[in-house]
A and B are shown apart, each in its own frame.
Chain A
């Protein structure tokens, strides 16, 4: 239990530190590397909550796929000039005030409702029978959520065609 708590704070530090560095760095490559640190922290949190399949998906898809895509685009698009310009827009103060208000609201609700989130903490029962996490996810995905799963594949096909059409010089 102590190890879990300690690891949670380590991963939380990785997530939040990486996120703050992501949005404050001037160089986009540094931002991308900080984002990788943040995403690895999120992957660790998944592992801490026994979501092993999502842990693997997070590493392979996010860190291996999306971040490589980002780095490719950073190299394709010339960002040298952008790094020497102003990094934040003129409305940053308004944005910070609005986000602060939203954060106060979310924090108030969390503070008021924190006691009602102790749903399964005292119950030490094992997860539902039927193997490990991957089996359970596959079972739910291919029986109960089969139609959304197929619709998601159509979405991915549309995204592939759309991104090729967008990035191509002449069609």
Chain B
């Protein structure tokens, strides 16, 4: 077996990013759309840590910490919005929330 290089990690991260994007673009359930966003942010983190490891520099891991912070804030606010939405519209399907659509 070949040793694992940075390119392996980048390919894995690209695959995870694409799976997450498919989830965001095709699912109707807002909870699962938010989970797909978490997948995308994790793909970014894999990239950052892979380059941090390859360059022997800890800065990439610091940026990964900031990305995780943003992911936490995003999940908290997003789920709060989802609860407010469910209280007002009684639906969690993204394409039924079309008040602003013409």
Contact = CB atoms under 8 A, between A and B. Distances in A.
Interface of A: 1-2, 4-6, 8, 12, 15-16, 19-20, 22-23, 28, 31-32, 35, 38-39, 42, 45-46, 48-51, 53-54, 57-58, 61-62, 65-66, 69-70, 73-74, 76-79, 82, 85-92, 95-96, 98-99, 102-103, 106-107, 110, 114, 117-121, 123, 125, 127-128, 133, 136-137, 139-141, 144-145, 148, 152, 155-156, 158-160, 162-167, 169
Contacts of A74: 31
Given A70-B35, A73-B31, A42 B83 contact: no
B3 A137 contact: no
Contact of A31 (B32, B46, B71): B32
Interface string B36-69: 1011001001100110111110110110111011
Nearest to B36: A23
B66 to A, nearest CB: 6
Contact of A54 (B61, B70, B83, B93): B61
21 contacts: A4-B4, A19-B16, A23-B35, A31-B31, A32-B35, A45-B9, A45-B12, A45-B49, A49-B49, A62-B42, A77-B92, A87-B27, A92-B25, A96-B22, A102-B21, A117-B5, A137-B62, A139-B58, A158-B73, A162-B77, A163-B79
Given A57-B68, A166-B77, 6 more contacts: A62-B42, A77-B31, A92-B25, A96-B22, A110-B14, A159-B74
B14 A99 contact: no
Nearest to A158: B73
A54 B64 contact: yes
Interface of B: 1-12, 14-23, 25-29, 31-32, 34-36, 38-39, 42, 45-46, 49-50, 52-56, 58-59, 61-62, 64-66, 68-77, 79-84, 86-87, 91-95
A106 B19 CA distance: 13
B18 to A, nearest CB: 5
Contacts of B64: 51, 54
